[in-house]
Amino acid sequence: MNDIETREDLLIIMKEFYDKLLVDESISFYFTKITDTDKHLKHHFEILATFWEQSLFMKGGYSNNMFQIHKDLHEKHSFKKEHFEAWLSHLYTTIDSHFKGKYAEQMKTNALSMATVMQIKFQ
């Protein structure tokens, strides 16, 4: 397996990851009821790819406040530990099914760090 190397690789991850999230009843309502992300997935994937390009490759132009966006969602419907666990599990599974290497591991580490910080900040 190859490592994550391109924006297209990130888009592959995001599409499959969201396929998993949208059928997982424990978390899908955040994308279908709390927000309307499910109706704007192509645009959302582009934003996420830009975020991960910046996070992994130090390029891109992500300028949104990722924590504020999730804090706003948390205020509408509180994130619980099981939501973070489901999110991480689906992301890890998706990454591991397609990629292996430094950036694949870094993406999982960065995701865990973000989830941990959010859990602490949103208490």
DSSP secondary structure of 83-95: HHHHHHHHHHHHH
Cα(65)–Cα(71) distance, rounded to whole angstroms? 10
What pTM, to 2 d.p., does this model score? 0.91
**Tokens encoding 102:** 């430094």
Q: CATH number for the 7-121 domain, one of 1.10.10.10, 3.40.50.300, 3.40.630.10, 1.10.490.10?
A: 1.10.490.10
pLDDT digits (tens, 9 = 90+) for 40-70: 778 888 999 999 999 999 987 888 888 888 8
Q: Give me 21's structure tokens.
A: 């999230």
pLDDT digits 0-9 by tens, 66-109: 888 888 888 888 899 999 999 999 999 999 999 999 999 999 99
pLDDT tens by residue, 99-111: 999 999 999 999 9
Domain segments of the chain: what residues? Answer: 7-121
Instruction: State whether residue 63 is helix, strand or coil.
Output: coil
Buried b (16+ CB within 10 A) or exposed e, 50-89: bbbbebbeeebebeeeeeeebeebbeeeebeeebbebbbe
Mean pLDDT of 10-19: 96
